[in-house]
């Protein structure tokens, strides 16, 4: 039988693989995907052609990859359906490298069929292929198997016209454990369901979404979601308009719109239900010709152009906050992002004067959310504005900003959920406004969806390149992604655009602080205090920078001023850290206790208190109790945010200090994997290894911290590293 080179490549095995694999003689390379390399081979015992799928060399040692590989075999081998590729078994080479033995099919994959310009796909053919895919998936779902990676390249069309679904490498089974960390994205971006993009639980309805996207591509020859970057594609999946679907013939449109509902509860609830709808289209598409190019029988006439949405040209306020623990330094830092003065816009974005008045009232309050009661009043004002004008996109965006700040202060997830809801509503109402995209980007970042955050913030800058808030927000994101030169450029631009913008200066100062550029950070925080002398958070941050420079006496004075301005728990926590560095342990305990009297939910403050107790004579019991509280709170936070490197590092230190080396190593390895270039986490690694009496490893991590810019003076002040720093191997040049 003639071979089709869209599916079989006869250039040889390649990839360093031998010509044989047990009883199989390898004759060609079929292709490669994220979870395996596939070869054509001959089973010499049975005389039949098969396909062999091997884990790629770079994943061979990855336990999770191996589990997914075997999961594919288990998932697909449990299925027996004409539209699902057959799995014969799993075998092993002499070097113990495993491979899946699969049926080999002559033909081409759907991706190649769609791209075949010599034979444009008719609508009837597209629906027939979709029906066969739905039949196979319906059988898989009936056996509690969800594919999770439906896309054209995973759909084969044999020379007899039979459709075969292959590559169950990302399949989930009803009784299978979770193989990925929370928030991991699996699948191919353009075909992923919104819940997959957002890291939420994805069930069989995710396959319904993906098949809907594939059907659109078959009918039009174009991808529904296409852009020049992965973040932009993911943004479209979650937020993009489905204009192409809305231009389709009414019957087709109705079926696809339901399959592509972003809320899974509003989609078809089973593949069987979707299959019935597709079969209902067979007669209606029978006479339709090739779809690509906008065939009039398939694509409805273009509607009249909509009136362009109004743009908001004035500069407005956006604020945010994050709490960051610096476990290696034994201190805390209050990082805030209030923004500059609100300025009336030429177009307020609302035709309801009372709504606009409430909005401006909220902006003024949000500018100084650090003052007692301002944040609650700001949320009330924005809520009133949205009630007075339910189409006021900016009011929804600012309400989301305020709720995100409340979440950062309290870590109460309900506030973040509310912020997400309001940011998405603002985006639905008017996605062209820069402040709307800034709010959306920030809530995505708070949820750990970095790709979506980046796409939204890039869109904000496209809408208004001179928005100081947008420049500041994307600068913070660039820093998070390690794009430090771009981050500095955007921070500097934000400050230049609005020199009195408290948020831009404070955020830039925090970035400089995180990179040990203390002199520059101090300059910006001093500027914030000149603009707002009663700004307690700026005093806290300034005191932290002075403390990191070893200017302990000055930092204590600043922290005491901060506590006087606003006796909040963070001011007392930082004051406690400064006292501990001055070896004023009794004062440190009192300050930490005051912080915990105000808010006892911060694991870092409990950890700092525990460390001070551990340095004091006769306080072992108190240290043990405080470490237990720190661990309980930190583990609870880690369950919500498992990819937070600093939380994992904090926990590694707590476990090491309480004599649990296995847990200490587990959390430390996670932290180092998540943030290998973090000097602070390298210091935690030095501490953990020193506490666990592994001096050589401790020295290695301490030296790495110095290479990454950690100040030697800070290591010298670290009481947990006192012995290590006296080791001759820590001398310069050693």
- Residue 177 pLDDT exceeds 80: no
Percent of the chain having pLDDT more than 90? 49
Nearest one of 316, 207, 213, 328 to 271, comparing CA atoms:
207
Q: Which of 116-130, 274-288, 301-315 has the lowest mean pLDDT?
A: 301-315
Tell me, rounded to whole angstroms, the distance of Cα 697 from its chain centroid: 32
Catalytic, out of 149, 207, 498, 650: 149
Tell me, rounded to whole angstroms, the distance of Cα 386 from its chain centroid: 29
- Per DSSP, 191 falls in state G
Where is mean pLDDT largest: 15-29, 141-155, 458-472? 458-472
Q: Are 464 and 486 in contact (CB under 8 A)?
A: no
Q: Tokens 């072992």, residue? A: 620
Helix H, strand E, coil C: the string for 454-519 is HHHHHHHHHHCCCCHHHHHHHHHHHHHCCCHHHHHHHHHHHHHHCCCCHHHHHHHHHHHHHCCCHH
- Residue 170 pLDDT exceeds 60: no
- Residue 342 pLDDT exceeds 60: no
Whether domain 20-103 has CATH 3.30.200.20: the reply is: yes
149 part of the active site: yes
DSSP per residue, 66-78: HHHHHHHHHHHHT
As a whole number of angstroms, the distance between CA 711 and CA 725 comes to: 13
Backbone angles phi, psi at 86, to 5 degrees: -85, 135
- Residue 318 pLDDT exceeds 60: no
| CA dihedral sign, ordered 431, 433, 438, 443 | negative
Nearest one of 638, 644, 641, 711 to 680, comparing CA atoms:
711
DSSP per residue, 635-658: HHHHHH-TT-HHHHHHHHHHHHHT
pLDDT at 320 (0 to 100): 28
pLDDT at 191 (0 to 100): 93
pLDDT at 167 (0 to 100): 79
Angle at which helix 552-565 crosses helix 536-548, to 10 degrees, equals 170
- Per DSSP, 9 falls in state B
CATH architecture of 642-730: Alpha Horseshoe (1.25)
pLDDT at 103 (0 to 100): 87
Nearest one of 661, 662, 686, 682 to 672, comparing CA atoms:
682
- Residue 660 pLDDT exceeds 90: yes
Q: Where in the chain is the domain with CATH 3.30.200.20?
A: 20-103
Q: Give the end-to-end CA distance of the chain in Å, rounded to a whole number.
A: 69
pLDDT at 11 (0 to 100): 39
Per-residue pLDDT tens digits for 85-143: 888 877 877 777 778 888 888 888 899 999 988 888 889 999 999 999 999 999 989 88
As a whole number of angstroms, the distance between CA 438 and CA 458 comes to: 9
Please give the radius of gyration of the chain, using alpha carbons only, rounded to the nearest integer. 29
CATH number for the 320-549 domain, one of 3.40.190.10, 1.10.3720.10, 1.10.10.10, 1.25.40.10?
Answer: 1.25.40.10
- Residue 229 pLDDT exceeds 80: yes
CATH number for the 108-174+184-285 domain, one of 3.30.365.10, 1.10.3720.10, 3.90.25.10, 1.10.510.10?
Answer: 1.10.510.10
In three-state secondary structure terms, 175 is coil
Nearest one of 200, 182, 179, 180 to 641, comparing CA atoms:
182
∠ CA 438-444-445, rounded to 5°:
90
Per-residue pLDDT tens digits for 506-564: 999 999 998 889 999 999 999 999 999 999 889 999 998 998 888 999 999 999 999 89
Mean pLDDT of the chain: 82
Q: Where in the chain is the domain with CATH 1.10.510.10?
A: 108-174+184-285
As a whole number of angstroms, the distance between CA 403 and CA 414 comes to: 9
CA distances from 145 to 185, 246, 263 (A): 18, 31, 21
At residue 74 the predicted structure's pLDDT band, cuts being 50, 70 and 90, is low
pLDDT at 699 (0 to 100): 94
Angle at which helix 204-220 crosses helix 250-259, to 10 degrees, equals 150
- Residue 398 pLDDT exceeds 80: yes
Per-residue pLDDT tens digits for 469-502: 999 999 999 988 888 999 999 999 999 999 988 8
- Residue 400 pLDDT exceeds 90: yes
pLDDT at 216 (0 to 100): 95
Q: Tokens 């589990």, residue? A: 67
Per-residue pLDDT tens digits for 578-603: 898 888 999 999 999 999 999 898 89
Helix H, strand E, coil C: the string for 248-290 is ECHHHHHHHHHHCCCCHHHCCCCHHHHHHHHHHHHHHHCCCCE
At residue 205 the predicted structure's pLDDT band, cuts being 50, 70 and 90, is very high
Tell me, rounded to whole angstroms, the distance of Cα 409 from its chain centroid: 21
pLDDT at 299 (0 to 100): 45
Token code pair at residue 345: 């816009």
Q: Where in the chain is the domain with CATH 1.25.40.10?
A: 320-549, 642-730
At residue 180 the predicted structure's pLDDT band, cuts being 50, 70 and 90, is very low
At residue 163 the predicted structure's pLDDT band, cuts being 50, 70 and 90, is very high
Token code pair at residue 328: 């290696």
């Amino acid at each position: 039988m003639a071979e089709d080179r869209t599916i079989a490549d006869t250039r040889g095995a390649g990839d360093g693989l031998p010509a044989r694999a047990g009883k199989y003689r390898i004759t060609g390379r079929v292709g490669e995907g994220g979870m395996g390399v596939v070869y054509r081979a001959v089973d010499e015992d049975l005389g039949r052609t098969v396909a062999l799928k091997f884990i790629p060399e770079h994943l061979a040692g990855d336990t999770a990859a191996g589990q997914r590989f075997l999961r594919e075999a288990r998932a697909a081998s449990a299925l027996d359906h004409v539209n699902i590729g057959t799995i014969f078994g799993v075998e092993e080479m002499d070097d113990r490298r495993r491979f899946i033995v699969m049926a080999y099919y002559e033909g081409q994959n759907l991706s190649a069929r769609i791209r075949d310009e010599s034979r444009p796909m008719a609508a009837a053919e597209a629906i027939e292929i979709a029906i066969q895919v739905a039949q196979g998936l319906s059988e898989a779902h009936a056996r509690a198997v969800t594919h999770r990676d439906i896309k054209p390249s995973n759909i084969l069309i044999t020379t007899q016209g039979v459709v075969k679904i292959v590559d169950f490498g990302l399949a989930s089974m009803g009784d299978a454990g979770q193989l990925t960390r929370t928030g991991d994205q699996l699948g191919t971006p353009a075909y992923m369901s919104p819940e997959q993009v957002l890291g939420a639980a994805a069930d069989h309805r995710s396959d319904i979404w993906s098949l809907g996207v594939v059907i659109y591509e078959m009918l039009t020859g174009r991808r529904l979601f296409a852009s020049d970057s992965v973040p932009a594609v993911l943004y479209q999946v979650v937020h993009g308009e489905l204009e192409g679907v809305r231009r389709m013939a009414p019957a087709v449109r109705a079926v696809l719109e339901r399959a592509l509902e972003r809320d899974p509860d509003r989609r078809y609830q089973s593949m069987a239900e979707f299959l019935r709808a597709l079969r209902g289209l067979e007669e209606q598409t029978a006479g339709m010709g090739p779809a690509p190019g906008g065939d009039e029988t398939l694509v409805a006439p273009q509607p009249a152009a909509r009136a362009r949405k109004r743009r908001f040209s004035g500069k407005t306020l956006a604020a945010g906050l994050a709490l960051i623990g610096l476990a290696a330094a034994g201190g805390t830092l209050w990082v805030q992002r209030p923004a500059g003065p609100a300025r009336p816009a030429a177009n307020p974005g609302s035709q309801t004067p009372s709504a606009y008045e409430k909005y401006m009232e909220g902006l003024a309050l949000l500018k100084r959310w650090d003052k007692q009661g301002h944040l609650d009043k700001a949320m009330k004002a924005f809520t009133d504005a949205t009630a007075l004008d339910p189409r006021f996109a900016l009011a929804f965006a600012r309400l989301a900003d305020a709720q995100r700040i409340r979440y950062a202060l309290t870590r109460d997830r309900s506030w973040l959920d509310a912020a997400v809801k309001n940011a998405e509503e603002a985006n639905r109402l008017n996605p062209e406004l820069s402040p709307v995209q800034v709010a959306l980007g920030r809530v995505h970042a708070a949820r750990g969806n970095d790709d979506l955050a980046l796409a939204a913030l890039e869109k904000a800058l496209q809408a208004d390149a001179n928005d100081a808030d947008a420049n500041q927000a994307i600068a913070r994101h660039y820093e998070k992604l390690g794009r430090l030169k771009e981050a500095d450029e955007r921070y500097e631009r934000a400050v230049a655009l609005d020199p009195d913008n408290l948020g831009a200066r404070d955020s830039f100062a925090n970035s400089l602080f995180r990179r040990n550029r203390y002199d520059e950070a101090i300059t910006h925080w001093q500027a914030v205090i000149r603009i707002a002398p009663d700004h307690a958070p700026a005093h806290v941050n300034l005191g932290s920078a002075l403390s990191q420079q070893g200017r302990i006496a000055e930092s204590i004075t600043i922290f005491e001023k901060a506590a006087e301005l606003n006796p909040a728990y963070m001011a007392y926590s930082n004051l406690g850290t400064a006292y501990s560095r001055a070896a004023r342990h009794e004062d440190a305990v009192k300050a930490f206790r005051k912080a915990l009297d105000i808010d006892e939910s911060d694991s870092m403050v409990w950890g700092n208190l525990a460390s001070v107790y551990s340095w004091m004579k006769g306080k072992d019991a108190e240290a043990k109790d405080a470490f237990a509280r720190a661990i309980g709170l930190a583990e609870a936070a880690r369950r919500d945010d498992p990819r937070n490197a600093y939380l994992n590092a904090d926990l590694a230190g707590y476990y090491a200090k309480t004599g649990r080396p296995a847990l200490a190593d587990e959390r430390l390895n996670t932290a180092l994997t998540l943030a290998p270039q973090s000097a602070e986490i390298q210091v935690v690694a030095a501490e953990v290894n020193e506490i666990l009496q592994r001096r050589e490893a401790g020295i290695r991590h301490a030296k790495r911290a110095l290479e990454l810019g950690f100040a030697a003076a800070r290591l010298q002040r670290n009481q947990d590293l006192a012995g290590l720093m006296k080791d001759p191997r820590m001398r310069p040049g050693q």
